[in-house]
Amino acid sequence: MSDELDYLSRRVAAGKLSRRDFLGRAAALGVAATVANSLLSKAVRAAGPVKGGTLKAGMVGGASTDSLDPALDASQVPFAFGKCWGETLVELAPGGGVEYLIAEEIGASDDAKTWTMKIRKGVQFHNGKEVTPDDVVATLKRHSDEKSKSGALGVLKGIDTIKADGGNVVVTLKDANADLPYLMADYHLIIQPNGGVDKPDAGIGTGPYKVTVNKPGVKHGGERFANYWQADKYGHADQVEIVVVNDPTARMAALQGGQVNMINRVEPKIVDLVKRLPGVTVRAASGRGFYPFNMFCDTAPFDNNDLRMALKLAMDREEMLHKILRGYGSVGNDMPVNKAYPLFSEDIEQRKFDPEKAAAAYKKSGHSGSILLRTSDVAFPGAVDAAQLYQQSCAKAGIKIEIKREPGDGYWTEVWNKQPFSLSYWGGRPTQDQMYSTAYISTADWNDTRFKRPDFDKMVLAARGELDEAKRKKIYRDMGEMMRDEGGLIVPFFNQFVDATGKGVEGWVDNPAQELGNGHALIQCWLQA
């Protein structure tokens, strides 16, 4: 790249040249606008964050029923607001692995059963108190209590004892688990003074912003916490605000009209239009979420692996990805994990649409008559269309699919995990172990494919206790192949998180864990004048 461009981009970052002028000069130098733009944002990032201003997000996923109690967080708005006012022990880093927050380091015993977490000193709560190991112990105890309503209860089930030991917190597990640090990144586990036992919804944490406005379903706001411990990294804007805008068109209009600086969930069908808007940047990040077609492996006719294979081969994944997600995703391979997971083997063969093989497998299965597939708008955006596309690709293999469109009301109670063949979604988990243990071991409550194989369960346990990464990766590879060839799920695609930012928003970092850069966009981004 020419020195002149470099110089110019630095001038823009320093505020001495307007963006428009820069792009004009770049064009004169024969540089494409996209290249010039990316050069510019690199320079802006290098110049460092700008402090000040109010950063506003317009988000879907908030309701007047939301609470500030992090144990009850279940949707995007409380999740993202939680990242503003609170912090967990560790956080999922954008490139995989963990970022240490309240825990300074985490170490395991050789059997991966005893974990010692060193608690960072000098981290302050908004009420002025310093975080102590006792606060951490109380928080973990509150969420892992059997009577707890916490969304993290399932994740913490394997914990045996939690104790403070000097400046450390020591956790012992019932069974070995090499993934414990990842479990501590669960967004419900915000460290609160005395664990939030006295007042779970006080909204007092150690995050970069103090809660100033809390109107569930309407607006949440925070102002910068003066004593935040890593102010150079997070908390650039003076104030942050989340406005709940559940209607997608209204959200887009708010971004265009400049009333908010960023929005979540841009609908795939309008992304191409949004891209053309001046000042709007689409932020698409691949993630771990996927949209499966679930078959019950223990219920006729799906208890026949030939039929399951026929149904898998009859899925035209490329077409699905193109038509349902407009390309904002990646094709699935009939297993619940993808390359966004640590220790994933990318060399597992990709399953392709093959009507002839599907027809042969279908014939071998001996099944006749139509197969009932249940779907609903709430399963995922475009789920009804996806079912219809699938019906057509199955027809090419001579398999007859009958679609039943179920009401969205009660879909998660009456259809998902109750009916033998239905559409659903999974948000993904930080590690392969968590994903498999949540839904694919015999004893899982949410085994929504009724995949009950003692040999598979053993592999999950073996991988979980294995601290040698190469060995672990090998086991996960075998598990993935087993899922792919014998499991009960058809995965057409993994989705991307599609967000958008308005004029002057810099410092954005994609994160495969969740949308809006794992909820960090508000604390991580800044406003460039």
Q: Is 212 exposed, middle or buried (0-12, 13-18, 19+ CB in 10 A)?
A: middle
CB of 235 to other proteins, least distance (A): 23
Q: For the CB of residue 217, give the shortest distance to other proteins in the complex, in Å.
A: 6
Q: Dig out the tokens for 372 from the structure.
A: 């009932």
Looking at beta carbons only, is 138 or 379 nearer to other proteins?
A: 379
Place of tokens 């060399």: 347
Residue 189 to residues 75, 152, 359, 386, Cα–Cα distance (Å): 15, 7, 49, 35
Smallest distance, other proteins to C-beta of residue 55, A? 15
Judged by beta carbon, residue 167 or residue 258, the one nearer other proteins is: 258
Residue whose C-alpha is closest to residue 29's, from 57, 68, 71, 1: 1
Minimum CB distance to other proteins, residue 280 (Å): 12
CA atoms within 13 A on the CB side of 151: 15
Contact positions vs other proteins (CB under 8 A): 58, 63-67, 74-75, 146-151, 153-154, 201, 213, 215-219, 243-247, 249-250, 253-254, 256-260, 407, 409-410, 412-414, 416, 445
Backbone dihedral angles phi then psi of residue 146, each to the nearest 5 degrees: -65, -30
Least Å from the CB of residue 65 to other proteins: 4
Q: Environment class of residue 4 by beta-carbon count within 10 Å: exposed (0-12), middle (13-18) or buried (19+)?
A: exposed
Q: In terms of CB distance, is 69 or 466 closer to other proteins?
A: 69
CA 242 to mean position of chain CA atoms = 19
361-to-68, 336, 450 alpha-carbon distances in Å: 52, 23, 21
Cα distance between the two ends of the chain: 26
Q: Of 190 and 459, which has the nearer Cβ to other proteins?
A: 190
For residues 325 and 361, the answer to whether their CB atoms sit within 8 Å is no
